Amino acid sequence: DAKTTQPTSMDCAEGRAANLPCNHSTISGNEYVYWYRQIHSQGPQYIIHGLKNNETNEMASLIITEDRKSSTLILPHATLRDTAVYYCIVLAGGYQKVTFGTGTKLQVIP
Amino acid sequence: DAMVIQNPRYQVTQFGKPVTLSCSQTLNHNVMYWYQQKSSQAPKLLFHYYDKDFNNEADTPDNFQSRRPNTSFCFLDIRSPGLGDAAMYLCATSRDFIGTSGRVNTGELFFGEGSRLTVL
């Protein structure tokens, strides 16, 4: 699986958009980009995933660059409850195990 | 309603005293995972079951064992807990389906709330 690089931490003002970047320059054609988040003392929670098109759901939007070497998770209106560690993971389309990198610790500030 | 349930939420044990953590799921998912998460670290995969097939990570100590008697239940046994085994243990499930090129895992994991183990 391709490796990912994320900033260690970020701050975002409450009500503003939180843009979390992820670099995955070695991603291959059949690999998807997945995002999870983990709120303190809870299990990780799936957010969204995509292959090459931008994706949106009720939680977030995922923007993948045309060359697929990087992506951005967007929380359009961050709330205090969005304070968490966000993990970007690259997974092949076939069966595989899910391993987590270090992630980005997002702090939403009132 | 909780779909992946872990028990107990908190477990305190003495050094060397065996511990069993349980995980049950109502999702009928065929893949189940056990992760270990220490303070301020990412979850670390210990092993997973693909149906009944057990898959151990190469660096998982022999002290950790697992059982999956049926689709719904999975257990993590720590035979002789050491101080370094104090952590949050997370159970997760996922499903796969038959795609055009074979079995495909969705990559969407459903986690329980975890069992926090303290070793005295």
Inter-chain residue contact B107 with A42, CB threshold 8 Å? no
User: How close, in Å, is residue B105 to chain A by CA atoms?
Assistant: 5
Judging contacts by C-beta atoms under 8 Å, the chain A residues touching residue B4 are 43
DSSP letters along chain A, please? ----B--SEEEEETTSPEEEEEE-TT--TTEEEEEEEE-TTS--EEEEEESSS-EE-SS-EEEE-TTSSEEEEEETT--GGG-EEEEEEEEESSS--------EEEEEE-
How far apart, in Å, are the Cα atoms of A48 and each of A44, B40, B76, B119? 12, 23, 29, 36
**Mean pLDDT, to the nearest integer, of A7-30?**
94
Q: Which residue has the higher pLDDT, B50 or B74?
A: B74
Quick one: pLDDT band at residue A110, thresholds 50, 70, 90? very high
Tens of pLDDT, residues B7-55: 999 999 999 999 999 999 999 998 999 999 999 899 999 999 988 999 9
Quick one: pLDDT band at residue A99, thresholds 50, 70, 90? confident
Tens of pLDDT, residues A35-73: 999 999 899 999 999 999 899 999 999 999 999 999 999
Inter-chain residue contact A100 with B112, CB threshold 8 Å? no
